[in-house]
Amino acid sequence: MYAAGYGIRPLRSRRDNGARLLRQWALVLVAVVALSLVLAKVALGGGSQADVTVVVQPGDTLWAIAATHYPADDVRSRVNDIERANGLAGPVIQAGETLRLPA
C-alpha cells in the first residue's frame, strides 16, 4: 500500500541532491567572495572618487595647493602629479585657472 500525506516525500536520487548541494555551495562561495571584494575596496578608500577641482586664487602656488590637499604625502611628487594631470609645462599657474587634483 502507498501512503501519501504531509510528512511523506517522494524518494529522490542522491546524484540530484549532490549536484544541487554543490550548486548551492558554489553560489554561496561566489556571494561571499563578491561581498568581501566590495568591502575591501570600500575599506581601502577605493570607492568611487572623482578628481577634485580647484580654482586658483591670487597668490596660490602649486606647492601650497599640494600641501593643503595632500598633507600626508610628499609635496614634490604631488606637484608633479598636478602638473601631469593638467598638462602644465611647469609650476606657473594663473589666478582663476581651474586645476584638477588627482585622487
For the chain, domain boundaries: 52-101
What confidence score (pLDDT) does residue 48 get?
A: 47
Cell numbers at 66, concatenated = 599640494
> Do the beta carbons of residue 81 and residue 73 sit within 8 Å?
no
CA distance 39 to 12: 40
Q: What is the pTM of this model?
A: 0.51
What confidence score (pLDDT) does residue 52 get?
A: 85
> Do the beta carbons of residue 99 and residue 56 sit within 8 Å?
yes
Residue carrying C-alpha cell 504531509: 6
What confidence score (pLDDT) does residue 90 get?
A: 86
Q: Does domain 52-101 have CATH number 3.10.350.10?
A: yes
Low-confidence spans in the chain with pLDDT less than 50: 48
